[in-house]
Structure 1
Amino acid sequence: MSTDVKRLVTVLAPLLLAALTTTPVRAADGDAPSAGQRIAEALRTSPVYVDEAYADAVPPSRQRELAERIRPTGLPIKVVLTPLTKGDAFDGDSDVLAGVVRDRLADQRELILITTDGEFPDSLNGYEWPSDAHQAEDAVDAVGFLDELRDAGLAELTAKAVELVAEGKGTERYDEAMKDLNDAAPAREPEPGEPGDSRWWLWPLAAVPALALAVLATRALVRSRKAAPAVPQLVFATARAADETELRRRAEAEVLALGEATQAAGVSTTPGLQQALDAYAAAGRVLDEARDVPDLAGALALVQEGRDALAGSPGLPLCFFNPLHGRAALRTGWRPLGRRDRLDVAVCQDCADALRDRRAPEVLTERAGDGRTVPYFELPAGRSVWSATGYGSLMPLLDGFTSRRARGR
């Protein structure tokens, strides 16, 4: 944990606690709201947010047209068109942008979000919570493969994305677009080893590397299609693939952001402010003492509890099997191996699908005392606060953390 974060955790929290008995906590005069907060506030008055950088591509008149196109659908569609570059408020990652916006709109249980893409400025990404009921991800992905929109501008692409999301057949449209793309591929000369080719002797030399490249390309395509989970939240979508150093950096940013949010909250209008402050202080301590990924995930989980307390409308906790999957989509019964009792756990949609299909969900692992790597929840509850609380599924994480510290464990 950086020195600045330590100072903020140790100095800011007591000041905020003292302020509870005197005057409402407010941001310092002149402090600008964070990028995520600014976007969320704008989305509360209009379903379309367009950064000034895109004002020429999507002028106010087109923004109003998009808003008018969204309203009749009756769907909770929000559009965020903002440039994304490495090192910006969202680190150039649309998943982070979507997670932050979702977090700032935590009081809105259902949300469909259409955003710009960090890697391809002329592309869009789709997200949906609490599940992909309207196939938003596939619907928005399909837009980029439609011949009719080959030379379309950002406004036209966004309008089509809204149309396909409202249609509710995103997966079908995506499959159709990909089929048309494959059918439109130009004819080619026979490859070595194919009927009609006289270069049969080249086949063994060409086949092996070509097959290897095909496998790698297919794997990359599948991975890119599945990289954005159905329930991205905060930084969890990108954190899943990040190494521990990157995850720690992102956790520090989220702890700081929670501190800013608690500082800006008003005492009289935020009943959960004390709980949020407790979560903020706990997240700072966990981050400071974090030894591995499960600890960093715990810091992020505490941040989520703090933000829920500020919003006054706590939702489901993070996914029980792997909190880096993000906020859970539903609760379900699950029986641990070797036990007769069933646990009521909160799971993301991917893990729910795995359980339904009798597949093992992707789990967060931790190193046991004997050196083995095991699912974190298999550790004795007395040794691990994460195992005891299930990152909020089995009991509120802050309660478990506070109780354990009170016992000196």
Structure 2
Amino acid sequence: MGRWWWAALLRRPQAGPAGSRGRLRAGPMAKERQELVLREWAALLEQLRRVATARVADAGDALRAGELAPPPGSHAERDYLWALEAYEAAGRLLDDAADLPDLAAAVVLAERAVERLEAAHARLAGQRPPAAKRRCSYNPLHAPARREQKQDGRRGRRARFGPREAAAERWPACESCHRDLLAGRPPDVLPALVRVRVSRRRTAPVLVPYLAVPRQFSPWAASACGAYGDAVPGFVLRGGHRREARP
């Protein structure tokens, strides 16, 4: 499945004739487009579900093999308990997943659980924990995000940016997405399925970048599918991901 395979599906069906402003024409082409969207989405959902299942299983194996009893109140205990919570949340998302970003979050939390387990082991050994992986905000399943640009040592500030450079540095991005942004191309963003109203009684499925889905419909844009922030596992375990209204 090619890169940005779903981008062509974002084109709106042609507007109806004068007098039907604000509505979209229903017809054979619109129906075929909707069926194509759903077929492609279902295929990618199944692929990602297999990946997420494997990642969650790997995290469970790592936690069982690396079981700890760190001193109460220690940094190691906090890391270890967070790892257990993130693993549980990843499993919950795997069970409840309704869209691609849900499964991406399951992958991310499973991987972060293993990272935090390694941090707990390092602390108990008197070592500095390994640096946490920085993930691509445009698609957290991409390669790791590139490092932030270092400051100019002579002046203690960053070099000046043009509009494209500023856009490329706005959020953590992998090398591929960063190059796209610098070139003025759209990055390869993780898609999400939403339904848009095409008439008073009908809606149609549309694939959009997950970052464009409003907060009231999806919690994942704010945390890059759980890649950033430590509150996500608790949010999931409280059922917050299910309470979000679906478009």
Say whether the fold is shared (TM-score over 0.5): yes
- Alignment partner, residue 69 of structure 2: 267
Query: Contact between 1:317 and 1:391, CA under 8 Å: does it hold in 2?
Result: no
Taking a change above 3 Å as real, the CA distance of residues 285 and 344 of structure 1, as seen in their structure-2 partners, is: same
Q: Pick the aligned partner of 1:302 from 85, 99, 109.
A: 109
Indicate whether 1:328 and 2:145 are aligned.
yes
Indicate whether 1:375 and 2:209 are aligned.
yes
What amino acid is aligned across from residue 329 of structure 1 in structure 2?
A: R
Aligned 1:113-152 pairs, distance under 5 A? none
**Larger relative contact order (C-alpha < 8 A, sep ≥ 6)?**
2
Gaps of 5+ in 2: 3-42, 120-129, 150-166, 197-204
What is the Cα deviation at residue 383 of structure 1? 2.1
What amino acid is aligned across from residue 300 of structure 1 in structure 2?
A: V
SS at match of 2:208: strand
Q: Pick the aligned partner of 1:390 from 221, 224, 239.
A: 224
Q: Pick the aligned partner of 2:135 from 318, 328, 348.
A: 318
SS at match of 1:323: coil
Taking a change above 3 Å as real, the CA distance of residues 401 and 331 of structure 1, as seen in their structure-2 partners, is: farther
Larger C-alpha radius of gyration, 1 or 2?
Answer: 1
CA offsets 1:202-230 (integer angstroms, 9 cap, x no match): xxxxxxxxxxxxxxxxxx9xxxxxxxxxx
Q: Which moved more, 1:341-350 or 1:354-363?
A: 341-350
The percentage of counterpart residues that share the same residue type is: 33
- Alignment partner, residue 20 of structure 1: none
Alignment partners' CA distance in 1, 2:235 and 2:170: 21
What is the Cα deviation at residue 376 of structure 1? 0.3
Taking a change above 3 Å as real, the CA distance of residues 296 and 309 of structure 1, as seen in their structure-2 partners, is: same
What is the Cα deviation at residue 299 of structure 1? 0.6
Query: Contact between 2:55 and 2:107, CA under 8 Å: does it hold in 1?
Result: yes
What is the Cα deviation at residue 330 of structure 1? 2.8
Indicate whether 1:353 and 2:179 are aligned.
yes
Alignment partners' CA distance in 2, 1:392 and 1:284: 13
CA offsets 1:238-288 (integer angstroms, 9 cap, x no match): xxxx84323212211211111111112223395421111011000000000
What amino acid is aligned across from residue 90 of structure 2 in structure 1?
A: A
What is the Cα deviation at residue 328 of structure 1? 1.8
* TM-score, with structure 2 as normaliser: 0.56
SS at match of 2:224: helix
What amino acid is aligned across from residue 55 of structure 2 in structure 1?
A: E
Aligned 1:65-144 pairs, distance under 5 A? none
Aligned 1:142-291 pairs, distance under 5 A? 243-265=44-66, 266-268=68-70, 270-271=76-77, 272-291=79-98
CA offsets 1:112-139 (integer angstroms, 9 cap, x no match): xxxxxxxxxxxxxxxxxxxxxxxxxxxx
Taking a change above 3 Å as real, the CA distance of residues 399 and 329 of structure 1, as seen in their structure-2 partners, is: same
Alignment partners' CA distance in 2, 1:253 and 1:404: 20
Taking a change above 3 Å as real, the CA distance of residues 248 and 406 of structure 1, as seen in their structure-2 partners, is: closer
